[in-house]
Amino acid sequence: MTKEFDFDVIVLGAGGAGCAAAITAARNGTSVALVSKEGIGMGNTRMSGGEMSSSGVVDGDSAEVLKQDMMRGGEYLSNGHLVDIIARNASSAIRFVQGLGHYFRRDEEGRFSGKAASRLGGHSFPRSFGGLAVSIAHALRNAVANTKSISVFEDTLVTTLFREGDEIRGALGVDLKTSECVVLKAKATVLATGGCGWLYYPQTTNNRTATGEGYAIAFEAGVQLVDMEMVQFFPFAMNHPPHLVGTLLDEPILAGPKGKLINGLGEVIADHDINKMTRAQVTALMAKEISAGRATEWGGLKLDLSGNLDVPEMLEFKRVKDEVNFFEKVRIAYGEKAFNWKEPWDVSPSSHYMMGGVKIDPHGHSSMKNLYAVGEAAGGAMGANRLGSTSIADIFVTGIVAGKEMSTWIKEREKGKISNSLISREIEKIEKLFGQKGPQRPIKLKREFQKLMRENVGIVRDGERLSSALSQIDRMEEEVENALSVSSIRRYNTEFLDAVELKNMLTCARMIATCALERKESRGAHLRLDYPDKDDAHWLKNIIIQKKKSKMETSFFEKDISEI
Amino acid sequence: MTHGTWGKMKGTRQMDEYTIRISRFNPEVDDGPTLKEYTVSHVDQGSVIAALIYVYEEIDSTLLFSYGCRYKLCGKCAIKINGQPGLACETTLEDRMTLEPLDNLPVIRDLAVDRSGLLEPLRKYGLVYSADHEPEVALQPPEFSQLMRCNECLSCLSNCPAYKEEIDYGGPFFGVKLAELYYDVRDGKKQLKHLESFLDQCIQCRQCDVNCPWDVNFSEISSKIKGEVFKHKGVSVRDWLMSRPHLVGHLVSSVSSFFNSLVKKKSVRKIIDVLLRIDERAPFPEYHPGKVLPREGIERTTKRKVAYFVGCFDRFNDPDTAKNSLFVLEANGVEATAFDPGCCGAPFIGLGDLESARNRAIAVSRELRKLIHQGYDIVASCTTCGAVMKYEYPFLFDQLKEEEVQSRIYNLGDYLWQMHKAGELNTDYKKIKRRVGYQSPCHLKAQKIGAPFVDLLQLIPGLELAATFDKCCGMAGTMGFKKERYELSQRIGNPLSDEIRGKKLDLILSDCASCQMKIKNDAKVDSVHPITMVRQAMR
Ligand SMILES: Cc1cc2nc3c(=O)[nH]c(=O)nc-3n(C[C@H](O)[C@H](O)[C@H](O)COP(=O)(O)OP(=O)(O)OC[C@H]3O[C@@H](n4cnc5c(N)ncnc54)[C@H](O)[C@@H]3O)c2cc1C
Ligand code: SF4
Ligand code: SF4
Ligand code: FES
């Protein structure tokens, strides 16, 4: 049985960006549906470090300096207008989150000062405020629960955007607990589905649900996406034991002024100031060693922190982290000595954040009428590399801005119709999966696909591997169409979920590989062995990708040099 | 049930194959859950979640379980592992583990529970953060940081007997959230009224602390808040008396036989019921005169010196347990003395009278320290007194915080088991042909030392431990006496009584005097402290 609902606004994805958009829109008098394939306040937001950028807390810092840092950190590929909005609104977004009940770390006098902030790699000043991210998630859920005009759809997987003509008029969801379809009609639709780290499982810091579906369903609807080749790999993550592979350790800041990186041959490849480098720089350094065959037995490098044992700020850093048991897994997996920095840690880069995404204007509006994108689902602000703590700022700023904008926008709009034939065609696609027979279990193909991504579309890339990846993606797409077996269970069928996710993950991967093949230089997170240098003369531009007449097409967006 | 805490990942371990049992259940088609066996290989050093992912990938992808972050952040992977709630991602896989969904939450399928119900209580309990501005200066108290650690795994809800039985009780998880608001200096204590009625339902069994992956320890916090509530409220004669078992014991034990026969009369219980609101159906303890004293002239064969903590119940209602404990220790060559500093303060804590409890804690700690200086280990047979000294003293009253002191306070069963492991326990026991059951009291489980007496009892030849129980008896200190809470006490305790009756045993061993009373009264089966069995088995 299909249910149909009508709302002013539907928000797809309920991490930080989705909740902020929903709460803001609802507070401004609109009726909102908040939809997520898991619970409210989940996603990467809930498991993040909870560090959020502010600006101007210490002397000399300002929104302008934050903006410059982000532009430089993004290696000048970022959309300056978006960065501007984020930088100018970061501090007020912190107040928004505080207003929902979250508590950001303060100094020992209880003040919100520079002393309580950390200076993360690539930032000119200490300006990142931490706190426990679960507490952000709880504050969000609580606010959602207590906002009357938000209707909640949990455990509801969004599979399609309904496009009629040149506008989006709603979305189709599947209630995973019953496998019933839900048709959500709306004047405005917001994509807040987060990132796609799970494409690289297990080499990812991300949540199980970060499967990049928002990118894929936007693409299918003909929406423009930008910078899809820019996948950030976080430099310091666990690389063993197997069940902890990929899970996050910390920013370059962890290396402190005196941390060293040592390769598998015992050679020191960096011995100071790693903490001042950006993630992209550290990851590139590591990737070079690893891909040259000089990795440790676990496929990573050794991070030796012992030099920092006489650096007071680093001891303070450790104390703060230990208070919340941040490195507990190091103790468990690598032992007590490693936990106390007396033995090096084995670390590998791990897929962490998608800089690319749905191309938006400064109000969060996409290239398609009535469709907005916020948070990690949107692209463009982070350019070729994101600085630590800017994502949490970004998700709240973009969520709030879009939430406000929409509530004005929808007042002038009539709700468009969605044709019954479109609805039933999409529902049929869903229904057909249940009980489908085939030789391949979805999870098997998913794992094969993830291996392909790690090997061919991962940290270091080259033309040959990317092309080969694209042809394997073709083959896998065919298998998804024709060879998957899915049980007919209606009560939370994960084979069904895997099948839908995999289809979208493949679309997302195709965009990443296509753009990565296109960009013939190395910049930020994008490392081409066959084009190792940065090429400002030709590549100071963004790659836009879009579906046109059922084909994937790329085009370019030249940077306005005056912005830089 | 095994002695000792269950596994957390440590060190490397290799094993080729593990057999695990997983609860499979689809409420749409199955009558109830069934345990299915799976063989899992090549998950060296793996966590339980790794094993589940293995089953899903290699064997059967209709298995439903949930996870998100893969290490302790999202809380989604909590399940029951060998009967205990815990995070599948932080628990080391062991051979023959049994995996089931959390209790007290609707099961979607197999191991996954429906967490979507969380939103409604947030509305219902008015959990709204309502500070109108962010103050310039805001330093949070330590309780706030402690509460903030909660990763919302819901293990505590799964364990909470009051949540299970009381529809109006939000349970520890929502308690954590309410308390977080209460302690948030920015929100300004607005939640106290709310918390008052909320916490009325908490029976302080401490089960919410036992499996909390982040040591949020809600029951400790709730004791503190009860203290705040108590300051604003008066206290009834009954509660005043009940929180002073030592005083009452002194008064009554001098006329014990008269008193005992008096309260056996239905008419008298009726009067007490009306006057004091002590429910006439509740069990009533017997009183005994006299003091527990160690025997003279015992031969010492170990270096161990034990000061046996004589709890109020030991002292006035059940001198046999204390005598038996001292006997067993002494017979094994330990220099034992009775340590009788008065009540540990638990009943005051239950009532929320933290000032009186603090005075007890200070007095007991002073004496206790002296004994430790003299080389004594402190051993308690009463699981409540033990838990209070180990957890409440340091947390609520800043007493006995040092590890050197804490490590010297033992539960009786644990102490004997350690003697056994050191080869210092004479286990040349007589044969006892008997079928018995064992019930694990909440405050023993709260000490996270497993159930040592289960292991000890197995050393007695002929003794058949036919069943172990670990449900709450519902007595909850003094709650089971109270007229207004008798119904809740029964609802919590009935499942245990039913289970015990179903097993057709004639003796249940339990470390807790309240449990014994309740089992005798409700299940109509005799119940004593397990040390009694050990004592009987000695030649
Ligand atoms: C371990 C870790 C630590 C981090 N630490 C920091 C930090 O300290 N500072 C910082 O700035 N950034 C950090 N980040 C990055 C940051 O957390 C994320 O980029 C950000 O939280 C993304 O927020 P979001 O709301 O866009 O998406 P998410 O929070 O990921 O939410 C997306 C939601 O959409 C749902 N969804 C996805 N697809 C669908 C679908 N098809 N249908 C329905 N629902 C769907 C998902 O289930 C999810 O709940 C970290 C990330 C990780 C993984
Ligand atoms: S102490 Fe017991 S009754 Fe109270 S919240 Fe914890 S588990 Fe529930
Ligand atoms: S208090 Fe502990 S057990 Fe309860 S939900 Fe929070 S983390 Fe889990
Ligand atoms: S998987 Fe997130 S807490 Fe276990």
Domain boundaries, chain A: 3-230+353-412, 234-349, 420-534
Whether ligand 3 lies within 6 angstroms of the CB of B150 is answered as yes
Q: What is chain B's mean pLDDT, rounded?
A: 85
> What is the reported pLDDT for B131?
85
Residue type for B37, please?
Answer: E
User: From its phi and psi, is residue B466 left (phi > 0), alpha (psi between -120 and 50) or beta?
Assistant: alpha
> What is the reported pLDDT for B405?
85
d(CA A346, CA A302): 5
Tell whether the model's pLDDT for residue A204 goes beyond 70.
yes
Which has more confidence, A420 or A325?
Answer: A420
Tell me the average pLDDT across B193-206.
82
d(CA A155, CA A493): 12
Cβ-count burial A476-490 (b if 16+ within 10 Å, e if not):
bbebbeebbbbbebb
Query: Which of B29, B129, B182 is the mutation pick for testing A, counting most A CBs within 10 A?
Result: B129
Longest dimension (CA), chain A: 70
Tell whether the model's pLDDT for residue B200 goes beyond 60.
yes
CATH classification of A3-230+353-412 is 3.50.50.60, yes or no? Answer: yes
* A·B CB contacts under 8 A: 155
> What is the reported pLDDT for B391?
87
With a pLDDT cut of 90, the percent of chain A lying above it is: 91
Q: pLDDT category, A311, cuts 50, 70, 90?
A: very high
Query: Model confidence over A332-351: pLDDT tens digits?
Result: 889 999 999 999 999 999 99
> What is the reported pLDDT for A447?
97
> What is the reported pLDDT for B3?
34
Report the atom number in ligand 4 closest to the C-alpha of B70. Answer: 1
CA of A495 to the centre of ligand 4 (A): 21
Cβ-count burial A103-140 (b if 16+ within 10 Å, e if not):
bbbbeeeebbebebbbbbbbbebbbbbbbbbbbbbbbb
Angle at B400 between CA B398 and CA B401, to 5 degrees: 65
Helix (H) or strand (E) holding B514: helix B513-518
- Rounded to the nearest 10 degrees, what angle do helices B192-199 and B171-183 cross at? 160
Q: What is chain A's mean pLDDT, rounded?
A: 95
Residue type for A430, please?
Answer: I
CA of A206 to the centre of ligand 4 (A): 12
d(CA A343, CA B197): 52
Tell whether the model's pLDDT for residue B249 goes beyond 70.
no
Lowest mean pLDDT among A96-110, A372-386, B491-505: B491-505
d(CA A67, CA A564): 11
Tell me the average pLDDT across B194-212.
86
d(CA B198, CA B218): 13
Tell whether the model's pLDDT for residue B386 goes beyond 80.
yes
d(CA B520, CA B318): 14
CA of B177 to the centre of ligand 2 (A): 14
Mutate-to-test residue for ligand 1 from A327, A392, A396, highest number of ligand atoms within 8 A of CB: A392
Dihedral angle computed from the Cα positions of residues B28, B30, B33 and B35, in that order, rounded to the nearest 10 degrees: -130
Q: pLDDT category, B490, cuts 50, 70, 90?
A: confident
Report the atom number in ligand 2 closest to the C-alpha of B207. Answer: 7
Q: Which chain A residues are within 8 Å of B128, Cβ to Cβ?
A: 142, 146
Which has more confidence, B273 or B352?
Answer: B352
- In chain A, which residue's Cα lies nearest the Cα of B49? A243
Query: Model confidence over B286-300: pLDDT tens digits?
Result: 767 666 666 666 667
Whether ligand 2 lies within 6 angstroms of the CB of B204 is answered as yes
d(CA B129, CA A14): 20
Cα–Cα nearest to B441, from B380, B512, B495: B512
Tell whether the model's pLDDT for residue A120 goes beyond 70.
yes
> What is the reported pLDDT for B6?
28
CA of A174 to the centre of ligand 1 (A): 21
Tell whether the model's pLDDT for residue A430 goes beyond 90.
yes
Q: Which of B43, B71, B129 sits opposite A142 (nearest CB)?
A: B129
Angle at A265 between CA A259 and CA A270, to 5 degrees: 25
CA of B216 to the centre of ligand 3 (A): 6
Tell me the average pLDDT across B55-82.
96
Map A65-102 to HEC letters: HHHHHHHHHCCCCCCHHHHHHHHHHHHHHHHHHHHCCC
Residue type for A188, please?
Answer: A
Judged by a CB distance cut-off of 8 A, whether residue B184 touches chain A is yes
Tell whether the model's pLDDT for residue A508 goes beyond 90.
yes
**Coil/strand/helix, residue B445:** helix
Cross-strand bridge partners of residue B507: B526
Which has more confidence, B230 or B209?
Answer: B209
Residues 164-183 of B with CB under 8 A from A: 177, 181
With a pLDDT cut of 70, the percent of chain A lying above it is: 99
Q: Which chain A residues are within 8 Å of B152, Cβ to Cβ?
A: 134, 137-138
**Coil/strand/helix, residue A367:** coil
Residues 8-47 of B with CB under 8 A from A: 8-10, 26-28, 43-47
Tell me the average pLDDT across B476-503.
81
* Beta-carbon separation of B56 and A332 below 8 A: no
Cβ-count burial B81-99 (b if 16+ within 10 Å, e if not):
bbebbbbbbbbbbbeebeb
To the nearest whole angstrom, how far is the Cα of B28 from the nearest Cα of chain A? 8
To the nearest whole angstrom, how far is the Cα of A519 from the nearest Cα of chain B? 32
CA of B13 to the centre of ligand 4 (A): 22
Q: What domains are defined for chain B?
A: 5-113 (3.10.20.30), 118-231 (1.10.1060.10), 305-421 (3.40.50), 434-537 (3.40.50)
Residue type for A321, please?
Answer: K
Residue type for A244, please?
Answer: L
> What is the reported pLDDT for A415?
83
Q: Which of B70, B116, B128 sits opposite A39 (nearest CB)?
A: B116
Q: Which of B45, B122, B181 sits opposite A145 (nearest CB)?
A: B122
Which has more confidence, B257 or A375?
Answer: A375
Cross-strand bridge partners of residue B508: B437, B527
Task: Give me the CATH topology for the region A420-534.
Answer: Methane Monooxygenase Hydroxylase; Chain G, domain 1 (1.20.58)
Q: Which of A110, A447, A498 sits opposite B138 (nearest CB)?
A: A110
β-strands A527-528, A248-250: how paired? Answer: unpaired
To the nearest whole angstrom, how far is the Cα of A419 from the nearest Cα of chain B? 32
Q: Which of A135, A142, A491 sits opposite B108 (nearest CB)?
A: A491
Judged by a CB distance cut-off of 8 A, whether residue A451 touches chain B is no
CATH architecture of A234-349: Alpha-Beta Complex (3.90)
Whether ligand 3 lies within 6 angstroms of the CB of B90 is answered as no
Q: Which of B122, B144, B148 sits opposite A141 (nearest CB)?
A: B122
Judged by a CB distance cut-off of 8 A, whether residue B531 touches chain A is no
Q: Which chain B residues are within 8 Å of A329, Cβ to Cβ?
A: 71-72
Place of tokens 């048709």: A183
Query: Model confidence over B97-149: pLDDT tens digits?
Result: 999 999 999 999 999 999 998 888 888 887 888 888 889 999 999 999 899 98
Query: Model confidence over B298-341: pLDDT tens digits?
Result: 667 778 899 998 888 777 777 888 888 989 998 888 988 888 88
Report the atom number in ligand 4 closest to the C-alpha of B72. Answer: 3
* Beta-carbon separation of B148 and A103 below 8 A: yes
Extract long-range pairs of B400-408: CB within 8 Å, 24+ residues apart.
B400/B365, B400/B368, B400/B369, B405/B368, B405/B369, B405/B372, B408/B372, B408/B376, B408/B377, B408/B378
Q: Which chain B residues are within 8 Å of A42, Cβ to Cβ?
A: 68, 74, 76
Cα–Cα nearest to B326, from B343, B309, B302: B309
Give, using CA atoms, the residue closest to atom 2 of ligand 3: B212
User: From its phi and psi, is residue B516 left (phi > 0), alpha (psi between -120 and 50) or beta?
Assistant: alpha
Burial level of A447, CB count in 10 A (0-12/13-18/19+)?
A: middle
> What is the reported pLDDT for B35?
98
Judged by a CB distance cut-off of 8 A, whether residue B49 touches chain A is yes
Tell whether the model's pLDDT for residue B530 goes beyond 70.
yes
d(CA A297, CA A94): 43
* Beta-carbon separation of B109 and A492 below 8 A: yes
> What is the reported pLDDT for A562?
59
CA distance readout (Å), B428 to A93, B531, B536: 72, 16, 12
Mutate-to-test residue for ligand 4 from B47, B53, B67, B152, highest number of ligand atoms within 8 A of CB: B67
* Beta-carbon separation of A242 and B150 below 8 A: no
Whether ligand 1 lies within 6 angstroms of the CB of A37 is answered as yes
